[in-house]
Chain A
Amino acid sequence: MFYREAGQFKTSYKKDQAILPIFQDKIAMVAMLLFCFIVIPLFANDYWLASILVPFLALSLAALGLNVLTGYAGQISLGTAAFMAVGAFASFNLQVRIPEIPFLVAFLWGGLCAAGVGILFGLPSLRIKGFYLAVATLAAQFFIEWLFTHFDWFTNYSTSGVITAPPMTLLGFAIDNPLSKYFLVLSIVVICAFFVRNLARSEIGRAWMAVRDMDIAAEAIGINLMKTKLLAFGVSSFLCGLAGALWAYVVLGTVEPQAFDIARSFEILFMVVIGGLGSVSGAFLGAGFMILLPILLNNLGSLITGGTISTETIAHIEYMVFGAFIIFFLIVEPNGLARLWQIGKEKLRLWPFPY
C-alpha cells in the first residue's frame, strides 16, 4: 500500500539510474542512516556498542569485501581471514616503523597491502574455477597464518605474539570509548558500502557479473577476464584488509594471528551465503544473522527457561536452534536473506491487490 512507485515518472536516464530510484527507498535509507547515526548512539549502552554493534559492523565490512569477490565476480575464496590479517598487520607495522602516521592512513595502507596480497593469491583464478579455486585460496589462509606466527618481524619481536594495538586519535580526539569507536567503524562501513554499490551499478560491476554468469560470453564481448578477476580480488581484499585492521584495532584492541584463523574465513563465507550473494544489503543481513541471532537466542533461552535448565544445556539448544535457522532460511530462499527482502518488496508493490 505504501510501497508504491506508481506516479514516479523518471524523465531522464540520470534519474532512472540513481542509486535509489524509488522514492520510498530513499526515505527508508535516510531513516536508517539517521537511526544508526543518532538514535543508536543516544540509546545504546556500552555493552551493546562495544560487544555487539562494533563487531557486527566490522564483520559486515569483511562480508561486503567477500561479496565483491564471490557474489559479484563469482570467484569463491576461503582466504578472507588471511586478507584481514594482512590488513591488520600491515597497518600495525606501518605505525610501528613510522609512529607519527595517522591511524587512518595506516588503515588505508593495510587495505592496499591486503589488495596486493589478494591479487597475488588471485592469480590461480585465471586458470581454475569453483571448488578448485576455493582450495587454492585456502593456501593463502594457511600460508599467511603461518607467516605471521613464525616471522617475528611482523609482530615487532613481541615475545607473546600478541600485540596491543596503538592508540587511535583523530583530529585531536582520542578514539578510546565505545561510542567513538562505533562512529568510526560505522562511518567507514557506510562509505565502503556506498562505494561498492556504485561499482556494482557501473561498468566494472557489470564486467564482474558477466564473468560470474558466463565467462565465455564475457570474453567474446571484449571483457578481459584476467584484469577483471584480478580487479575483483584487489577490491575485495582491500575491503577485507580494512575490516581486518578495524577488527584488530577497534574490536579486539590487539593484533594477533589467532584472530584470523580459518574459522573466521568460514564465518564470513557463511554470512555472504546466508545474507545473499551479489548484494550489498546481503552482507549486512548475513552478518546480522550470524552475530545477532545467537545473542537473541541466548537471551530468549535464559528468559524462557528461567534458570530451570542448566546453562550448559541451554547453550547446546541454542546451537541446535541456530543450525535449524540456517537450514530453514537456505531452504526457503537459497539466494539469501537479501533476495527474501527483495521478494517481499516486490509483493508489497502490489499489496493489497492481487495484480
Chain B
Amino acid sequence: MSLKNQNLISKSEVIMNIKNINLSFGGLKALSGVSLQIKKGEILAIIGPNGAGKSSMLNVISGIYVPQEGVVEWKGKRRNKIAPHDIARMGIARTFQNIALFKGMSALENILTGRNILMKRNLFMEMLYMGLGRRQEEEHRKKAEEIIDFLEIQSIRKTPVARLPYGMQKRVELGRALALEPELLLLDEPMAGMNVEEKEDMCRFVLDVNEQFGTTIVLIEHDMGVVMDISDRVVVLDYGIKIADGTPDKVRSEKKVIDAYLGVG
C-alpha cells in the first residue's frame, strides 16, 4: 500500500506526453515504441532490469537524447531539439546516477550555483560587487538557506563537498536540483549505495518535495521496497519495451513483470 494519500492532489493533468518513442544507438535499439504520460504532481518510478533503457528514457525526458522517432510534448506543446543548457530553463532539473557535484565548492555554493539560471549576469556589477551584483547574491542566499533548512544540512553548508560522506553528497545534489525551482525533477537512482537510514531520509525528502512544492518527480530506482512505497505509479521497461504501467500494487502482480525480474521458468 502506498504511503501517500492518493486523493491529496488530483493527478490528472498531463505535463509531459511521450508518444511512441524509438531510440537507437547505431544498431542497438535502446527504446522501441515506448509511450508514457507524466502527470502533474505525481511520483513516477521507472524500473526494469539492467540495460532495460531506464537511463535512456530519463535522457529522452530531459531532452539530452532526441529520439529518432516519436513525439515529446511538454505542457501540450511539441518539444523539438533543444540545447542542453535550455532544459533547466524549461523547468526540468535532474540529479545524476554517479554524484556530479562541483567538488571544489562548498555545499552552499553548490546550491547557489543551482540558482544561476534565476540570476542575471552582469560582468561589471559582479566585478564591483555592487548594485545588482550584491543584491542578487544576498537574495538568492536567502533562498539557498531555505533549501538548506529543508534538507537539514545546516551544519555542512560551508564544508567543501568533496569532504562530505556519500549520503550527504546525494542530499546536496538534490538541493542543487531543487534550487532551480523545477516543475519536473528527475532522479537517477537517488538511493543507490545508501544504507537503510540514508535511504529512509532520502525517501522522506522526495515525498516532502512532492508534497510541499508540488514538484512532479520521475525516478529510477532499484530498491523495490522504496519504489513500491513512495511512488504513485510505476513504469516497467524491459529490453526497451514498456511492459507494465500502473499503480505499484497492479504492477507487482503482472505476469510480465514477474517474468522480467525472475526469469521465465
Residues from 189 to 223 in A contacting B, C-beta threshold 8 Å: 195, 198-199, 201-204, 206-207, 209-210, 212-214, 216-223
CB distance from A282 to the nearest CB of B (A): 13
Q: Does A214 contact B103, Cβ atoms closer than 8 Å?
A: yes
- Name B133's contact: one of A198, A212, A214 (CB within 8 Å): A198
The answer, yes or no, to whether B93 is at the interface (CB within 8 Å) is yes
- A235: B residues at CB distance < 8 A: 123
Q: Which of A11-19, A101-109, A165-173, A259-267 contacts B (4 or more CB under 8 A)?
A: A11-19
- Name A195's contact: one of B85, B128, B138 (CB within 8 Å): B128
The answer, yes or no, to whether B228 is at the interface (CB within 8 Å) is no
Q: Does B133 contact A217, Cβ atoms closer than 8 Å?
A: no
Rounded to whole angstroms, the CA-CA distance of A52 and B24 in the bound complex is 63
- A14: B residues at CB distance < 8 A: 134, 138
CB distance from A336 to the nearest CB of B (A): 13
- B113: A residues at CB distance < 8 A: 206-207, 209-210, 218, 221, 223
- Name B136's contact: one of A203, A220, A231, A278 (CB within 8 Å): A203
A interface, by DSSP: helix, strand, loop or mixed? helix
Q: Does B141 contact A206, Cβ atoms closer than 8 Å?
A: no
Given A207-B116, A221-B88, A222-B89, is A19 in contact with B102 using a C-beta cutoff of 8 Å? no
5 nearest CB pairs, A to B: A222-B88, A222-B117, A217-B100, A202-B126, A213-B102
The answer, yes or no, to whether B75 is at the interface (CB within 8 Å) is no
- Name A198's contact: one of B109, B127, B177, B180 (CB within 8 Å): B127
How many contacts between A and B, using CB within 8 angstroms?
110
Interface centre among A206, A214, A220, A223 (most CB of B within 10 A): A220
The answer, yes or no, to whether A225 is at the interface (CB within 8 Å) is yes
CB distance from A342 to the nearest CB of B (A): 11
Q: Does A214 contact B121, Cβ atoms closer than 8 Å?
A: no
- Name B101's contact: one of A17, A204, A206, A214 (CB within 8 Å): A214
Residues in A lying within 8 Å of B, measured CB to CB: 13-14, 16-17, 19, 195, 198-199, 201-204, 206-207, 209-210, 212-214, 216-225, 231, 235, 278
Q: Does A221 contact B114, Cβ atoms closer than 8 Å?
A: yes
Interface readout for B103-126 with A: 1 if CB under 8 Å, 0 if not? 111000100111011010101001
A224 to chain B: closest residue by CB: B85
- B129: A residues at CB distance < 8 A: 19, 198, 201-202
Given A13-B141, A203-B121, A222-B88, is A198 in contact with B103 using a C-beta cutoff of 8 Å? no
Q: Does B88 contact A198, Cβ atoms closer than 8 Å?
A: no
The answer, yes or no, to whether B84 is at the interface (CB within 8 Å) is yes
Rounded to whole angstroms, the CA-CA distance of A88 and B69 in the bound complex is 56
CB distance from A283 to the nearest CB of B (A): 17
Rounded to whole angstroms, the CA-CA distance of A203 and B140 in the bound complex is 10
The answer, yes or no, to whether B223 is at the interface (CB within 8 Å) is no
The answer, yes or no, to whether B254 is at the interface (CB within 8 Å) is no
- A225: B residues at CB distance < 8 A: 85
CB distance from B85 to the nearest CB of A (A): 5
- A224: B residues at CB distance < 8 A: 83, 85
- A214: B residues at CB distance < 8 A: 100-103
Interface centre among A17, A217, A224, A231 (most CB of B within 10 A): A217
The answer, yes or no, to whether B171 is at the interface (CB within 8 Å) is no
Q: Does A206 contact B116, Cβ atoms closer than 8 Å?
A: yes
A–B Cβ pairs within 8 angstroms, 25 of them: A19-B129, A195-B127, A198-B126, A198-B129, A201-B129, A202-B137, A204-B121, A204-B123, A206-B109, A207-B116, A209-B109, A210-B102, A210-B105, A210-B113, A212-B102, A218-B102, A218-B113, A219-B85, A220-B84, A220-B94, A220-B96, A223-B85, A224-B83, A231-B123, A278-B104
